[in-house]
Amino acid sequence: MKRRAFLRQVGLVTAGMVSAPAFARIRMQADSSCRYVLRGARVFAQNALKVLDVGILPTGRLLIGETGKLNGDEIIDVTGKIVSPGFIDILADNAANPERTYRIFEKYKVTDGVTTALQMHGGSSDCASYYKYFNGVPHAINFGVSTSVMRIRYATSSLDERKRRVEKCLAEGALGVSHSIEYQPTSYEETLVYARLAAKYDRTFFLHLRYSSREQELEGVDEAVRFAKDAGVKVHIDHLHSTGGTYHMKEALDKIRTANRQGLRMTCCVYPYSYWATYLHSKRFDEGWQQRYGLTYKDLRLVGTGERLTKESFARYRAQHRLAAVPEGILPLAETVDLALKEDFCMIGSDGGIEYEPHANSHPRGAGCFATTLHHSKELGIPLEKMLSKVTTLPASLVANAMKDRGVIESGAWADLTVFDPEEVNGTATVENPNSYSAGIQMVFVNGKQAYRDGKVQTGQGVGIRY
């Protein structure tokens, strides 16, 4: 909808400009047009924090005005709080049994301030069927998936058939192409085929790098740069601090920065925890894992209980496909995450999701990634505006056309909003209890409707995000 038509529809006229650039002074012609008005907060708009009225129209769209100028059915005083575009989790994970677990997954996302959870690490091998099914059920938040090369490769051994299925998913609206060449080793030549398909459809290629060992991790970064160059594709490196920059983060960031200066398009993400977790049956725990990571059985903690493993319990839980966390500090924040957060090309992605209750199954990042990020960045002295861009506008840019009018606060945009207390915000999830709501997240709106307020989650607001 054109801006002029939009303003006519809601019965508004502009009358000059306020001191904040690009914001019109809004005057109401009739009684309240907004369903809600958020008043008194600092609002993250145009990459800056400003005191503004944020109105939510019955259409689910936003109306922005000078503080005290908008009217609405409910005026909500949020003085002292921050109103941000809803957080966008570009690396959400709910792959195991989404039809059965998605409500639990979304509950712990929205209570962490997330309004859009995009599964760009894995995704689907049949995107048309995925969107058809999930568009037919109610959602707390917006959702979307990439093309999962791993799943397609499991299903067929023919490269021509694999290529056909990847392209079919892209034509059906998949948000990108994802592959994990550490978990499923694939030749450079074959992986390049998938990267070129992503480029053909102007989608991002999401890559879990090939190596996580001290000796070879930078080779994986070099390979990602090579994909960006040879395929002409935008490459996003998944969780760089756990795969690619664990031991050599400074060098890894230098390589990405240099590639971007040379005209390539590369980004990465991190999550603000000093330890990783993954399934015991994955290739990360194949023979030699103790030497690769300098760990023993007793260093591993079973997620959801904190139980320390033994050789015997390791074998038992591996057969059960259970998930284990490595010790805190194995990814020293000061040497990994904190360095990456300084870079404009680095954003936040959880690489997690809570799927089961009451028995937890995930790294705490599945429930507390974004609140923990805001708390940690405050301790580091990183400006709030910089961090908010890393959880809103920057992840939205990876799927820009599909996220039109989202990830921003401006008149006419969709009302995906998160209201939080900057002094109290923090994750509360732990390895022993990953299923825990974040602190300081007070209110979340998705498409103009309340998705979370006063500790209660509501469904029916979210929509599918696709091309």
Q: For residues 364-400, b (16+ Cβ closer than 10 Å) or e, as one string?
A: bbbbbbbbbbbbbbbeeebebeebbbbbbbbbbbbbe
Cα dist from 320 to 219, 281, 282, 361, whole Å: 33, 8, 12, 12
Q: pTM (2 decimals)?
A: 0.91
Check residue 95 and give its pLDDT: 83
Contact yes or no for 28/47 (Cβ under 8 A)? no
The domain 87-275+328-402+422-434 belongs to what CATH superfamily?
Answer: Metal-dependent hydrolases (3.20.20.140)
Check residue 17 and give its pLDDT: 32
How would CATH label the architecture of 3-80? Roll (2.30)
Check residue 8 and give its pLDDT: 39
Closest CA to 19 of 52, 42, 44, 43: 52
Check residue 358 and give its pLDDT: 83
Contact yes or no for 136/124 (Cβ under 8 A)? no
Please report how many Cα atoms fall inside a 13 Å half-sphere around the Cα of residue 136, on the Cβ side: 7
Q: At which residue do the structure tokens 């059920």 appear? A: 137
**Cross-strand pairs, 5:** none
Please report how many Cα atoms fall inside a 13 Å half-sphere around the Cα of residue 461, on the Cβ side: 28
Q: At what angle do helices 127-134 and 159-171 cross, to 10 degrees?
A: 40
**Residue ranges of the domains in the chain?**
3-80, 87-275+328-402+422-434
Check residue 411 and give its pLDDT: 97
pLDDT, one tens digit per residue, over 103-139 is 999 999 999 999 999 999 999 999 999 999 999 999 9
**Count of other CB atoms within 10 angstroms of residue 290:** 12
Check residue 344 and give its pLDDT: 97
Check residue 3 and give its pLDDT: 40
pLDDT < 50: residue spans in the chain: 1-31
pLDDT, one tens digit per residue, over 390-406 is 999 999 999 999 999 99
